[in-house]
Structure 1
Amino acid sequence: MTEEKIQQGDNQGLDMVEQPLQDQHASREADKYENPIPSREFILELLEKTQKPLRIKQIADTLAIEDDERFEALNRRLKAMVRDNQIMRNRRGCFALIHKMDLIKGKVLGHPAGFGFVVPDEGGDDLFLSDTEMHKVFHGDKVLASVIGLDKRGRREGLIVEVLEHTHEQIMGRLHFEDGLAWVQPNNNRIAQDIFVPNDGLLSAQEGQIVLVEILHRPSKRTSAIGKIIEVVGDYMAPGMEIDTAIHAFGIPNEWSPELLAELDAIPNELTEADLEDRKDLRSLNLVTIDGEDSKDFDDAVYAKRRKNGWRLVVAIADVSHYVKVGSALDKEAFERGTSVYFPQRVIPMLPEKLSNELCSLNPKVDRLCMVCDMYIDDTGKLERTQFYQAVMNSKARLTYNQVHDILHNPDSPHRETFAEFLDDLDALNGLFQVLKQAREERGALEFETTETRIVFDGERKIEKIIPVVRNEAHKIIEECMLMANVATARFLKWHKVPMLYRVHEAPGEEKLASLRTFLGDFGVQMDFSEEAPTAHDFAAIAQKVQGQPYEHLVQTVLLRSMKQAVYQPENKGHFGLNYEYYTHFTSPIRRYPDLLIHRAIRHVWTKKPVEAFEHSEAAMVGLGQHCSDMERRADEATRDAVTFLKCEYLSHRLGEEYEAVVTAATNFGLFVELADLYVEGLVHITELGEDYFHYDNARHCLKGERTGQVFRLGDKIRVQVAQVNLDDRKVDLKFISAANAEDFESNDEADASEVDSNEGNEKPKRPRKGRNRNYRGKGGRSRSKKSVGSGE
């Protein structure tokens, strides 16, 4: 084909622009540049009108750009539009509209087994990526992908067309040598590719050390990633290394910028007269904080008093929004972090300690700024009216949960003398709690029996023991006070129609409910409600039906695992678990960014300015909610990763020891069990269960033997032996010894097990290259406690 014909073909479609387009933003461009070129909006309009991808020369000719200087400016603008994902450049060098190419833009989510997913920016179902496709990218990259069909499980399968944004410039991992080659195995097990390191990039690092590697060449379909070591972080088993690696693996910011520190220095260390202007003085009120023994930042203080036909409840919350202004360096950093991250014996705070532990923290016996939710609650636990105001307070005491519990239930408690002036206040709080507790039961809010654990370290920061944390009545008193304040806040802001983030916990989907109905049928328990609109009260009724039965814990666990995760979003869909129509987060602005946004919304109402003038629009809240939800998940994953490593390291010194264990989940490749007294989880592989073919029952979530009829279900007690511990993969392999209820196996057709993550449970395990079994990530870091669904909500 001649150049002339190519040019003719390229110009087809330009004729569709029947008359010159008008750049509506020409004056703006002229104000900004001495020699302006058409605006981004105008270029997008041109591409829309021509209905085909265009080369830069075609665009220049159409826009009458002839001189070299303006042509170069156009080139820079087109590159910037590609960078900002407004358009893309195809393999022919033409610029095109992304939405015209049936491509899906999203973020890559890697899986330890090697496959992955594209999570679409626009929402909808994830796009499955095979191992081959995942070899081109790292977990977290932003990509454009096309749908190439359905995989064997009926999921949409994708092909990566272009990588829009690389998220990992540096990766932390463990260095290995073999046959003259060196490579770094990433600590983040969602990155399945090793990074190969040439000999001139080793920086004197030794086998097994944790290093930081800079990516020089990205992975592709045929080549692996190549990098150079820029820092030797330390030895693999050094105390605290598990936290350092988790921080880097999950991209948790842990340093303050010079701009932020400059802002921080400008904030006075003590309250000023200007700080106290237009504030109500609550310094004479007996507000107290009630927290754990190890707490250092105190978000909330409470006070209750019996009134005629009801109660007054005052919840005072640290006034973080007074110090963290919109657009400031403090605000930008708090947004990036999203939440404080609580590792064992170490916290990565959302705000610097000058604020989180000092100026904002409601420390005892010092004046502090606060935002107050002042409520009147009737004798049935119904919220009658609420007043919000800014105040200055002085916490009269720092109490712990254990102290309060002892005061309320032990007449001879020495704490009764120490805190004698607060006995009436604590009795009032307890009286209000009894009313709210009854209201919770009548409302049908969910509460399940689980166990939370705490790690006790020795002098070398190795696990000495793992102990259960008892959640007493004082925990529940504070929880109910915070729940009431959060409900009052949601109701207040909804009334004033200010953009806000709700804490949304949707009802289980129809697929989960159908599976739950099948499961409950094995126990003769009927679901007496519609699968289209279940309520928490319906779930509570099921829990009531099985109360006292041998399978009570089993049913409660499956009920819990059938529910969705709570998220932050501006569209209110209620809170299923707590059975609230409106719910938000107001009570922890020191450690949660959504709470800070809520405080700003309340403050905006006080200004009486139009809703449209609020700093955060309804549209912006969508992105803010997604980001905050993502950061919450990131914090959970990072904490779990560090705790899992510690527990695996603890068990690595106990190879061959036998333990009683409880089945916590069944999958198509084996059983997850929790070791009694240790609260550490491991895997009993399906091949360990006996001389039989065991099959995973997807409907009933159990493993059942084909020949013997043996059924392994959640809650079953078995005896196991610690066989192998893989610290790199956070994996504990256990050998099956015997079953405590083996006599039930032959005739027992009742079956169940816990829900398994849809991206994990049904995947056939795949073996990576020799020496790296990364198809399973141990769950030893998970801890549980008895609390309402969405507790801390």
Structure 2
Amino acid sequence: MTENHDQETDFKTLEDPYAQREAEKYENPIPSRELILQLIQQAGKPLRRQQIAQQFGLESADALEALRRRLRAMERDGQLVFNSRQKYSLGDGHNTIAGRVLGHPDGFGFLKPDDGSDDLFLSPREMKPLMHNDRVTVRVSGIDRKGRREAAVVEIIERNTHQVVGRFFVEGRVACVVPDNKKIIHEVLIANEDIGNAKKGQIVVAEIVQQPTAHCQPIGRVTEVLGMHMAPGMEIEMAIRSYDLPNQWPDALLEEIKSLTPQVPEQAKQGREDIRHLPLVTIDGEDARDFDDAVYAQKTAKGWKLLVAIADVSHYVRVNTALDAEAQNRSTSVYFPEKVIPMLPEILSNGLCSLNPEVDRLCMVCEMLINEEGNVLRSRFFEAVMRSHARLTYTQVAKMLVEGDQKLAQKYAGLMPHLQNLYGLYKVMRHQRELRGAMDFDTQETRIVFGAGRKISEIVPVVRNDAHKLIEEFMITANTAAAKFLNRKKMPRLLRIHDGPGAEKLLALKTFLSELGLHLGGGAQPTPLDYMHLLESVKERKDAHLIQTILLRSMSQAVYSPDTKGHFGLALDAYAHFTSPIRRYPDLLVHRAIRHCLAGKKPAEFHYSHPDMVVLGEHCSAHERRADDATRDVVSWLKCEYMMDKIGEEFAGIISAVTGFGFFVELQSIYVEGLVHIASLHNDYFEFDAGRHQLYGERSGVRYRLGDLVRVKVVRVNLDDKKIDFELIASNKDTKKAGKNSASKSSRGKKSSDQPPAAKTKAKPRRRRKS
């Protein structure tokens, strides 16, 4: 009876949402895994293979064989269970997880789920058919010894690596490209007929013609030869291609902008407030080429009136144009040492949209009335035409206002009263910033100085003076006003959000602080003011730098989103990016929203909806990270090149990070970071204490802790991996027993690239872990 009943079951007709994907992958497509799972779930009971085939109308021998193989694969992957009655039911793994693959140089990887849940670990075996950035579905296959969820790949949904840039090698009859991006773990094989003009050791671009499988490496063909890897500027060319940074203007865009001239048309100035008489000035770095913002302050009876004028990029970059499509595609300008890939073409970025001195420019102005205590009483936005009265640098302004440089003050005598107004306003606003608890960490930025042949001559610290802080404070104030304005108007808008520390990071932070006898206020939800009170209480301590570093690392990363979550670091309830539309697409979106409001239009009439802003926020955040990663790669390469002739030299440094495989040291005099591998620390077992950010020697009691001063020798520089190895010479303290902060005397041993397999590690040669 049961058999007859099963055979007569009439299932509801189902449509396969993945039919197109299956058709692209297979000449004779069959129902997708998702549809098979949906069928069995809807039936509410196990089904035979024949029933599944009948429901989908599969009759040919080829189709039936393909279905058999798919069902067996789903059984193997845990999506289905084949029971003793020869029927298929849903398995524990039928709830698959979709996400993006993140490769790791050591051969394993992680899946970053689309639903925002915790990453899953992908073993080297699972990574064999995958490449960094692929999209896949996985099932949870277990928990590893570190407590991480392990994943088994169910299906590769989308391939996202279509070309690589790297070194070309030939060994006998085998040619390959070793990717520069170390997250791509595969060497790409090149057939003899696809080598082109490439020669051994050159940097090339290879197109992937066959993606990797569980048994085969990817296969490619050389499409471009960039040159030798030590050629000047090669590091930037490699980064552009490795990170797929758009750097060519589309023909449609070039056609669109060919009518633009360096001068603002008179017609464009009509209907705007004329503020050309106001002595607005730009204050930027010496090497700045585009000027987004100009400022002016006027003393009033009750405080100040501050004008922040921003280049009106939205007037030129209109929705649904080729110019807008490319700006969105790039999302941000990318700043390499001595080279910029701009978001907008030069006629706009350095011309019409740049607030150059003594020329008319269109701008969007944020006007704010501020009281004597530094609080913004009210603000308004308006479109205007302006004329910058001077292009000043941070150095010049600091010399005039802080150092009292009379020669410079005489040169800009007509502007000095206005500059003094700016400085007076800054000081009261600075006090208000401190009262609300906005973060102001004393971090060290550096600048690379090039000599002949684009070789680094020196790496120098960037000193932030009061002029830097003045402009920063005014930009933050204008950005805050923009966010409040758009929130008040209930507009779809993109905000800059920065969450407070997560529960896990907060627990680790409090554990670390308790070891030092310190306490962070605020309980489970500390405020920025709690952070700043703690920083203020420890600023005279010798380990203040260490504490500041740990506080910084407890913070989350700022992103773009339409959600009103506030900005933790700045201690603000609402914050947007408004002040840099030449180089950031989110700022352009904010300008468009403000312009929409100024035109008296309703939120529902805006070109963008809230869901649109969600997508754009994720897009811009991802491209911001891509730009940061590309820039970091270039700087690392340049620093390695700089250190190649310094092998054998000794330097003083500070431990900047501690891991299970050693500790990183930043050289104090030249701001370069390298690794002291645990394999070079002899005659002891070292235990990695993550909570205390230290390596602890079990026998000797020696400790190497974040923030300790050490002296190291440069022993190896690997330009391909962008890694520098140091050897410990001495620490800042004598060797002491457990419980006291110290460091051991130098021991010299042969280094290896082997990685320590566990946190508790004997100092002997092990495989090095790249991070």
State the TM-score, normalized to the length of structure 2: 0.86
2:660 alignment partner in structure 1: 668
* Cα distance, 1:286–1:773 mapped onto 2, change above 3 Å: farther
CA-to-aligned-CA distance 1:451-492 (integer Å, 9 cap, x gap): 111111111001111111111110000000001001111111
* Contact 1:523–1:750, Cα closer than 8 Å, also in 2: no
Shift of 1:16: 4.0
CA-to-aligned-CA distance 1:432-465 (integer Å, 9 cap, x gap): 0000110011111111222111111111001111
* Cα distance, 1:750–1:267 mapped onto 2, change above 3 Å: same
1:69 alignment partner in structure 2: none
SS at 2:289 equivalent: coil
Residue 229 in structure 1 maps to residue 218 in structure 2: no
Matches within 5 A, 1:725-764: 725-743=717-735, 745-746=736-737, 748-749=739-740
For 1:128, the aligned partner's letter is F
Shift of 1:317: 0.5
1:493 alignment partner in structure 2: 486
* Contact 2:731–2:742, Cα closer than 8 Å, also in 1: no
Aligned counterparts of 2:393 and 2:433: Cα–Cα separation in 1? 24
Q: Of 451, 462, 477, which aligns to 1:484? A: 477
* Cα distance, 1:736–1:455 mapped onto 2, change above 3 Å: same
* Contact 1:172–1:248, Cα closer than 8 Å, also in 2: yes
Matches within 5 A, 1:212-251: 212-251=205-244
Matches within 5 A, 1:592-603: 592-603=584-595
CA-to-aligned-CA distance 1:477-536 (integer Å, 9 cap, x gap): 000000100111111111111011211111111221211112112221122321x21100
SS at 1:420 equivalent: coil
Residue 324 in structure 1 maps to residue 324 in structure 2: no
Shift of 1:667: 0.6
Shift of 1:103: 2.0
Shift of 1:310: 1.1
Aligned counterparts of 2:535 and 2:225: Cα–Cα separation in 1? 53
CA-to-aligned-CA distance 1:590-618 (integer Å, 9 cap, x gap): 11111111111111112322212211111
1:437 alignment partner in structure 2: 430
1:25 alignment partner in structure 2: none
Residue 546 in structure 1 maps to residue 538 in structure 2: yes
1:418 alignment partner in structure 2: 411
* Contact 2:520–2:526, Cα closer than 8 Å, also in 1: no
Matches within 5 A, 1:79-228: 101-228=94-221
Aligned counterparts of 2:598 and 2:318: Cα–Cα separation in 1? 16
Q: Does 720-729 or 193-202 show the bigger shift?
A: 193-202
Aligned counterparts of 2:573 and 2:770: Cα–Cα separation in 1? 39
SS at 1:478 equivalent: helix
Q: Of 703, 709, 713, which aligns to 2:701? A: 709
Residue 301 in structure 1 maps to residue 257 in structure 2: no
1:560 alignment partner in structure 2: 552
Aligned length: 706
Aligned counterparts of 2:741 and 2:768: Cα–Cα separation in 1? 33
Aligned counterparts of 1:751 and 1:616: Cα–Cα separation in 2? 58
Q: Of 621, 640, 648, which aligns to 1:648? A: 640
* Contact 1:240–1:461, Cα closer than 8 Å, also in 2: yes
* Cα distance, 1:198–1:524 mapped onto 2, change above 3 Å: same
Shift of 1:700: 1.1
* Contact 1:189–1:774, Cα closer than 8 Å, also in 2: no
For 1:239, the aligned partner's letter is P
Calculate the aligned-residue CA RMSD, in Å.
3.3
* Cα distance, 1:48–1:334 mapped onto 2, change above 3 Å: farther
Shift of 1:762: 9.8
Q: Of 606, 620, 623, which aligns to 1:628? A: 620
For 1:746, the aligned partner's letter is K
For 2:365, the aligned partner's letter is V
SS at 2:706 equivalent: coil
1:686 alignment partner in structure 2: 678
Aligned counterparts of 1:61 and 1:368: Cα–Cα separation in 2? 71
CA-to-aligned-CA distance 1:93-138 (integer Å, 9 cap, x gap): xxxx9x9952222221112222112222232222221112222111
Residue 776 in structure 1 maps to residue 767 in structure 2: no
For 2:564, the aligned partner's letter is N
* Contact 2:343–2:584, Cα closer than 8 Å, also in 1: yes
Q: Of 346, 351, 356, which aligns to 1:358? A: 351
Shift of 1:764: 5.8
Residue 619 in structure 1 maps to residue 611 in structure 2: yes
For 1:489, the aligned partner's letter is A
Shift of 1:748: 4.2
* Cα distance, 1:697–1:261 mapped onto 2, change above 3 Å: same
Shift of 1:418: 1.7
CA-to-aligned-CA distance 1:171-229 (integer Å, 9 cap, x gap): 11101122432111001111011001122222132211001111121101111011111
Aligned counterparts of 2:623 and 2:271: Cα–Cα separation in 1? 35
Q: Of 586, 589, 609, which aligns to 2:601? A: 609
* Contact 1:601–1:614, Cα closer than 8 Å, also in 2: yes
SS at 2:664 equivalent: strand
Aligned counterparts of 1:563 and 1:379: Cα–Cα separation in 2? 33
Q: Does 164-173 or 379-388 show the bigger shift?
A: 164-173
CA-to-aligned-CA distance 1:392-438 (integer Å, 9 cap, x gap): 11111100000000111233432212211110110000000000110
Shift of 1:142: 1.7
Structure 1 unaligned runs (5+)? 23-42, 65-88, 91-96, 753-760, 766-771, 778-793
SS at 1:414 equivalent: helix
* Cα distance, 1:59–1:361 mapped onto 2, change above 3 Å: farther
Shift of 1:50: 5.8
For 2:555, the aligned partner's letter is M
For 1:714, the aligned partner's letter is L
Aligned counterparts of 1:419 and 1:310: Cα–Cα separation in 2? 25
* Cα distance, 1:687–1:389 mapped onto 2, change above 3 Å: same
Aligned counterparts of 2:426 and 2:51: Cα–Cα separation in 1? 72
* Contact 2:93–2:140, Cα closer than 8 Å, also in 1: no
Q: Of 681, 689, 692, which aligns to 1:697? A: 689
* Contact 1:700–1:751, Cα closer than 8 Å, also in 2: no
* Contact 1:667–1:762, Cα closer than 8 Å, also in 2: no
Aligned counterparts of 1:381 and 1:654: Cα–Cα separation in 2? 51
Aligned counterparts of 2:93 and 2:145: Cα–Cα separation in 1? 28
* Cα distance, 1:762–1:561 mapped onto 2, change above 3 Å: farther
SS at 2:453 equivalent: coil
The structure with higher relative contact order (CA 8 Å, sep 6+) is 1
Matches within 5 A, 1:432-511: 432-511=425-504
Aligned counterparts of 1:258 and 1:411: Cα–Cα separation in 2? 52
2:713 alignment partner in structure 1: 721
Identity %: 49
* Contact 2:14–2:39, Cα closer than 8 Å, also in 1: no
For 1:776, the aligned partner's letter is K
1:336 alignment partner in structure 2: 329
* Cα distance, 1:59–1:482 mapped onto 2, change above 3 Å: farther
* Contact 2:168–2:200, Cα closer than 8 Å, also in 1: yes
Aligned counterparts of 2:589 and 2:8: Cα–Cα separation in 1? 51
Structure 2 unaligned runs (5+)? 16-34, 58-78, 81-89, 744-754, 760-765
Shift of 1:12: 7.3
Shift of 1:140: 1.3
Aligned counterparts of 1:21 and 1:640: Cα–Cα separation in 2? 49
Aligned counterparts of 2:55 and 2:477: Cα–Cα separation in 1? 62
CA-to-aligned-CA distance 1:237-295 (integer Å, 9 cap, x gap): 00000001011111111111111111111444422233123211111111110000000
Shift of 1:48: 11
SS at 1:315 equivalent: strand
Q: Of 283, 286, 290, which aligns to 1:290? A: 283
* Contact 2:143–2:149, Cα closer than 8 Å, also in 1: yes
* Contact 1:665–1:671, Cα closer than 8 Å, also in 2: yes
